[in-house]
A and B are shown apart, each in its own frame.
Chain A
């Protein structure tokens, strides 16, 4: 099974990369830009047919390595 794991900043956490990108886009004349935020995506292929088990395993991965709960949250999006 394949999942995309999105690591995002929690609401209220400053996102310097997003802010800087927004500024740059405005400088390029994209005045309609309202906000820019960044996220990181890991595509994980997992050898498991039971979706529930697979989801639990990915949850563990997020908690043990992929996300720092102090500022980050995660979201799993199943591709197949």
Chain B
């Protein structure tokens, strides 16, 4: 049936003309499938109409370019409508550039801006964890470098299936979570460490919804002088396009369309070609060279070659500036000589950057790349007419209006919301039969336990600017910190960074789960004494064509918008990853958040571990029987629908008071209360300095197990000296907050007491349980 549709063109290379103009709907769909375009019939029909009006049929390279440009990954066709409505509507005076570019740009101080990017690299990592994760790091670094910024920190939230899944229960074609975890961590380690950017924050979460779809989210923060910020567009007519970096090969062909369709059982074999191979030792000098040409002000624009390769980058750089472009593929250095033009055009080979240069400066630009042994070539130029023409070996293989290519469709997809309506008194969550047993299980749960096995494999101190590390405390007793703090310039000002989401909560209730995740992000920023400044999101969901999945997305985005506008916290960049779904399952709704705060003076940053025996331990915030998505409900196997509530007004009032209190009092340590509740928070604070705690809960309202294990939002544990404890509490109460003195820092053991209640556990035993939770699977 397809015979006669593809016509080989007489040329010194492989080129087909495709008959879309006379094809019916069925054939159009077959063309899309045959070429792997992942476009639907309606989208194909638009292409047909376009070429009908041009009076010719397209070449394969033109169709491939449209497949890339109109993919979910490149044009956000399913998400744009809702993102605009709920999230990207907040104006703040310190945001320099949000959403329009590869990364968000936000004012840091008078002279500097920080640059943030956050992306998913899910599908490639599920197929080939090592290469997939490594190229994720490579891509996110390029997003930051192409803005003219020096990367200063990497952030990696990771999500896998349960590590104790028996091999016999793995769906066909699925790799074991332990294999994926090890591979992904090794990929991030070998790439991040080699390029010399510290990995300072992240999270690792285990849930079986990720068994067949692991999620690998990667974030990067950079710093730049404001005047050095480079736009992702050309500066004028007649400028050269210079392609710099690695050679172009077949690796990564169809990476974008591949990320926009559900993984199938057979994906493993079929998709191998779509996973790219990275080379950090090309990236490292590429980064230096790019920053040198920025510093010397030699270029007008810069864009990284990510999804869609040259096909996306050239058009976007020209169109954003109001120009067209002419490109000659002959000058693109190739890994394999026999590549067809479409392969060169959409290749996603790693470590490549595209810059626009005025002709008089091009020699200087080429010299800088040569000095760093980075190949660089002039591949085209900008022109006045807004069309894009591509030539190969003297043949014109591509000629389309850029506006048509970049006018990807936008859908307002239908959705069904999941909103369990429950009231607090409707739920009957029972106390545990054996408190000690439950506490031990929670400490050792992989979602709570020490992530040291992961964290230590990343260099979190290269660049010598990390003030608060992800592990902090007495040497070789370190515990988890709340947010990392980086000092990016010579001044004392710092950036705090955290990554958060609670997929157990979002899977029960996408709205309240997303709100709770936002609350946790803010708590972590505040815990280190930083002022929340901006955030970015990486929204990982299932198939948006299914109304329930779309509903999860819409509810999550609504909640994020509600919280963000109430706190006046701008969302400055982000990424949407749909189709994280296999026939076996869809991922829990996973709106991963990366929060960024400003620390006025890094020496005032507050750490998470107890400092001194005898100091007072204070709980700030209200504790309610809210167990939806909690570790307690998982460990005791009780179903709860009540995901902890929050509100932006309440959160804002607590944030202001906590930050004020840091100024008024000497706070020795502070830790947010999250997974596992109060008991875990106190344990983590003690472990970091080999100290214990003597806790009396009788001053609090409610049942003991609620006090110990509830995961109510907007709470922190604070350590102050005995002499300041009462004043600290009065200060918070006077501002309308709730605060209790829980007890004192002690030595030797953790002891939790309530009316007619006592449990005790040695510090060493608590530490051993917490440290062994993950390594009992990974083997240290």
Name A residues whose Cβ lies closer than 8 Å to a Cβ of B: 23-24, 27
Contacts and interface: CB of A to CB of B under 8 A. Distances in A.
A23 B779 CA distance: 10
A24 B779 CA distance: 9
B interface, by DSSP: helix, strand, loop or mixed?
A: loop
B236 to A, nearest CB: 48
Contacts of A24: 779
Nearest to A28: B167
Interface in B745-780: 779
A interface secondary structure, majority = helix
3 contacts: A23-B779, A24-B779, A27-B779
A27 B179 CA distance: 13
A72 B779 CA distance: 28
Contacts of B779: 23-24, 27
Contacts of A27: 779
A12 B504 CA distance: 50
Interface string B474-494: 000000000000000000000
B165 to A, nearest CB: 14
**3 tightest Cβ-Cβ pairs between the two chains A and B:** A23-B779, A27-B779, A24-B779
B529 to A, nearest CB: 41
A6 B779 CA distance: 30
Nearest to A24: B779
Nearest to A23: B779
A23 B780 CA distance: 11
A27 B779 CA distance: 10
A27 B777 CA distance: 11
A77 to B, nearest CB: 27
B187 to A, nearest CB: 17
Nearest to A29: B167
A45 to B, nearest CB: 18
A27 to B, nearest CB: 7
Nearest to A20: B779
A60 B779 CA distance: 41
A21 B779 CA distance: 12
Nearest to B182: A24
A38 to B, nearest CB: 16
A67 B779 CA distance: 31
B180 to A, nearest CB: 15
A33 to B, nearest CB: 16
Contacts of A23: 779
A78 B779 CA distance: 40
A79 to B, nearest CB: 23
Interface in B202-222: none
B687 to A, nearest CB: 27
A23 B778 CA distance: 12
A24 B778 CA distance: 10
B108 to A, nearest CB: 42
B457 to A, nearest CB: 13
Interface in B661-716: none
B776 to A, nearest CB: 12
A68 to B, nearest CB: 20
A24 B777 CA distance: 11
A17 B779 CA distance: 14
A11 B779 CA distance: 27
Nearest to B167: A28
A19 to B, nearest CB: 12
A27 B182 CA distance: 15
A36 to B, nearest CB: 15
